[in-house]
């Protein structure tokens, strides 16, 4: 009995992918609990020996032309059928129709995969539209998960891909994404800081409040004279009325007033009051 055969049995019997640590732990536990010499001999296997045996097992499946192969996924090692046998395998489960994602959902998933962990605001800054509905679809299908909160004001949620996402696309890690290193260096748009967004909202609210509080401008009749013209007209009318009033108070023009009439002689003294100086001595 070889280590390669034991690993093949463990992977075949496991209902889920097995990691290298889980297989090594099972081998060591069997050596401690079983009295068989083979089990005790394999209990001393190292992690490097387990990885080397798994590599040889995968090469053996490839060379033998089997309908399945051994692959390492994000959650561990697993046996999967080859893609060319998909029509026959799918006929076993006719009710299980593959669910397809829409274009916006694929774009959002790609942004998360290449920029994770990422906030929803940053995703919307790249796409230019709201992604509330799309994010809910990705969460319901276990392609995206919440990993925590960003260390920025407001503490928005951070989103990242799941192990199911890697298994669905046949990836061991996000480093195997196409052009991951090149696309990771590209600067994508980011959402403005919460302070800037709050100040913009406050400025817009203040402007709206100022417009609502400002009094309505009165209706201006362009045909009516302006205030300056009206004041000048009022001043001229006041001058005219004052001149007419002064003219009414002046005396009428008479000949006596201007020296054209004959002078009036003073009245003569009565005769009985005149003094007679004829009998006075000289």
Contact, 50 vs 7, CB < 8 A? yes
- CB neighbours of residue 115 within 10 Å: 19
Can you give the pLDDT at residue 237? 55
Domain at 103-184, CATH class? mainly alpha
| pLDDT tens-digit map of 121-135 | 999 999 989 998 999
Q: Which residues pair with 159 in a beta bridge?
A: 118, 146
The residue count of the chain comes to 282
- CB neighbours of residue 167 within 10 Å: 18
Number of H helices, E strands in the chain: 12, 5
**The two structure tokens encoding residue 59:** 């090469």
Residue of 178 and 263 predicted with greater confidence: 178
CA dist 33 to 30, 39, 61, 145, 164, Å? Answer: 5, 9, 31, 39, 34
Phi, psi (rounded to 5 degrees) for 174: -70, -15
**The two structure tokens encoding residue 280:** 């006075």
Whole-angstrom Cα distance, residue 80 to residue 158? Answer: 32
Share of the chain above pLDDT 90, in %: 34
Peptide bond into 117 cis (omega under 30): yes
What torsion, rounded to 10 degrees, do the Cα atoms 29, 34, 37, 40 define? 20
If you search the block for the tokens 């090692």, which residue do you land on? 77
Q: What is the largest CA-CA distance in the chain?
A: 201
Whole-angstrom Cα distance, residue 27 to residue 17? Answer: 16
Q: Report domain extents, the chain.
A: 3-90, 103-184
Work out the pLDDT band at 100, boundaries 50, 70, 90: confident
When mean pLDDT is compared across 44-48, 80-84, 257-261, the lowest value belongs to 257-261
Work out the pLDDT band at 202, boundaries 50, 70, 90: low
CATH code assigned to 3-90? 1.10.10.10
CA dist 80 to 69, 91, 255, Å? Answer: 6, 16, 141
Who contacts 111 (Cβ-Cβ below 8 Å, separation ≥6)?
A: 118, 123, 126, 127, 188
Whole-angstrom Cα distance, residue 35 to residue 37? Answer: 6
3-90 and 103-184: identical CATH topology? yes
Looking at the whole model, is its pTM more than 0.75? no
| pLDDT tens-digit map of 223-271 | 545 555 555 555 555 555 555 444 444 444 444 444 444 444 444 444 4
């Amino acid at each position: 009995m070889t280590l390669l055969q034991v690993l093949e049995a463990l992977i075949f019997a496991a209902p889920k992918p097995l990691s290298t640590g889980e297989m090594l732990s099972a081998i060591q536990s069997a050596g401690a609990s079983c009295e068989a010499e083979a089990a005790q001999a394999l209990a001393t296997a190292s992690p490097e020996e387990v990885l080397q045996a798994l590599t040889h097992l995968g090469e053996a499946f490839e060379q033998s032309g089997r309908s399945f192969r051994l692959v390492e996924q994000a959650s561990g090692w697993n046996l999967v059928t080859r893609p060319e046998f998909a029509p026959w395998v799918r006929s076993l489960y006719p009710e299980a129709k593959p669910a397809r994602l829409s274009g916006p959902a694929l774009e959002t998933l790609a942004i998360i995969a290449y920029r994770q962990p990422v906030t929803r605001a940053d995703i919307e800054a790249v796409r230019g539209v709201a992604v509330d509905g799309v994010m809910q679809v990705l969460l319901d299908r276990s392609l995206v998960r919440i990993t925590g909160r960003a260390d920025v004001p407001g503490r928005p949620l951070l989103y990242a891909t799941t192990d199911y996402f890697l298994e669905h696309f046949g990836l061991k890690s996000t480093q195997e994404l196409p052009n991951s290193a090149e696309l990771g260096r590209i600067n994508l748009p980011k959402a403005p800081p919460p302070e800037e967004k709050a100040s913009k909202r406050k400025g817009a609210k203040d402007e709206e409040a100022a417009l609502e509080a400002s009094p309505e401008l009165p209706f201006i009749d362009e045909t009516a004279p302006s205030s300056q013209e009206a004041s000048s007209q009022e001043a001229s009318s006041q001058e005219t009325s004052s001149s007419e009033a002064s003219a009414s108070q002046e005396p009428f023009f008479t000949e006596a007033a201007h020296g054209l009439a004959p002078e009036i002689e003073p009245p003569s003294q009565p005769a009985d009051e005149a003094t007679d100086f004829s009998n006075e001595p000289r």
